[in-house]
Structure 1
């Protein structure tokens, strides 16, 4: 079973929110949101395969979106979570969308932070190259380059730093396998755009140069709601944590005044 943490709601609420991190990270990416969410919801954080020490590795599974999605849902089933709000960041949003598309009964609605949609030619080319020879290149240099492509510029410095610290749990073999997952994700995103998913709320930074334009298109074509945060890049929940928390509470119909105490 995937590494995970279940935090019961402080107010005794039976609703659950499932949190999925992105590539190279782990559930610490939600450190500014978990204390706030756990006031009102059962919080279930799930680490993707090969992320976090001792976790199930991608090399032990079929290297497919479906295999990972089924492992995520196995954790949900373990806690009898049959219907929940799912919130993902970056690559985690792909699995939220995949579960919506193929296992829709599990998802009430999705909050997609820094969503990965169809991508530009640079990232697609990098994923293609790294999927073939990523295990033959200096590993630190590979994920340094990859993090800069996804999160360029000074405003994303904190996000890149967290990515690099967390990515040490990966190794060359697992990194290379995840490039295959990215290639599948890009193809899946093209199919996802052909469906209507009004249950989705997209939150992206206006400075998310890698994904924003195509995410806006996906939100429009799938009838989702698109929210853009100013002065913010790919990982909005870290770069603009206070504003993000207020927005998140509004979307969840909770008191946004609580956000100030959670993000300090």
Structure 2
């Protein structure tokens, strides 16, 4: 089972489950815990191969798929006897949450998808193809640093880049390649999500400077009635790290409704 951490407010309080992105860990949510645990029971998970799940014993897979990753998150909910939860995700974690809602809609009260990835633009597709060519040639950390800089290029994104690179250092080379291969094959799934609207209340919480992913989210929200978009000014891809106060306020206001 994945490594997880809980902060229990009271047995009757609703749950919020946080899902990090590829190369990160549950440590990226440290600026959210204090505010969220005032009103909610909080569940943090470390995805397969990440954070403290790196040393856990689980089924060895040569290739990963989003349904397998999603099932491992749901397994933690089952273990804790959590019937339903709000979900908060960042970056690749938003895809995992969205995939869970397709197969387990009764387990998801609402979704807050920050730095959401619902389409790879031309630059993103070129980046993925470059990574496929180089993933077995150059050290994965060098490749990850390159990706982090392209996705989060500005001076005010430095803290986000640093945090994600520090967390990525804890990955193994083979683990990075498995996750990278998973991300490289995501386009058909994202196309399905863009077409198929879910009835589950959804907040897309995006940075104004998230130039790779914001345009596609803006278009998606205009076509999905259950979705709402809030754009945080002067902020890049990792909203919860760059603007934690705004992130917490906006997210908690959404959950209160």
Same fold (TM over 0.5): yes
**Structure 2: how far apart are the matches of 1:163 and 1:221?**
32
Distance apart, 1:58 and its partner CA: 9.0
Quick check: 1:159–1:239 contact (8 Å CA) kept in 2?
A: yes
Quick check: 2:24–2:167 contact (8 Å CA) kept in 1?
A: yes
**Structure 2: how far apart are the matches of 1:58 and 1:183?**
23
**Structure 2: how far apart are the matches of 1:204 and 1:142?**
24
What are the equivalent positions in structure 2 for 1:38-77 lying under 5 Å apart?
A: 38-55=37-54, 56=56, 60-61=60-61, 62-77=63-78
| Counterpart for residue 6 of structure 1 | 6
Segments of structure 1 that go 5 or more residues without pairing to the other structure are 255-264
| Counterpart for residue 220 of structure 2 | 218
Runs of 4+ aligned structure 1 residues displaced above 6 Å come to: none
- The size of the alignment, in residue pairs, is 253
Segments of structure 2 that go 5 or more residues without pairing to the other structure are none
Quick check: 1:58–1:174 contact (8 Å CA) kept in 2?
A: no
Quick check: 1:194–1:222 contact (8 Å CA) kept in 2?
A: no
Quick check: 1:46–1:72 contact (8 Å CA) kept in 2?
A: yes
SS in 1 for 2:27: helix
Pick one of 238, 246, 250 that aligns with 2:249: 246
**TM-score, normalized by length of structure 1?**
0.90
Quick check: 2:14–2:41 contact (8 Å CA) kept in 1?
A: yes
Q: Which moved more, 1:158-167 or 1:34-43?
A: 34-43
Distance apart, 1:173 and its partner CA: 1.4
Q: Which moved more, 1:203-212 or 1:59-68?
A: 59-68
Quick check: 2:202–2:228 contact (8 Å CA) kept in 1?
A: yes
Quick check: 1:58–1:177 contact (8 Å CA) kept in 2?
A: no
Quick check: 2:2–2:76 contact (8 Å CA) kept in 1?
A: yes
SS in 2 for 1:249: helix
**Structure 2: how far apart are the matches of 1:12 and 1:72?**
20
Quick check: 1:2–1:46 contact (8 Å CA) kept in 2?
A: yes
**CA distances 1:36-74 after superposition (whole Å, capped 9, x unpaired):** 111111111111111114534898235111110011100
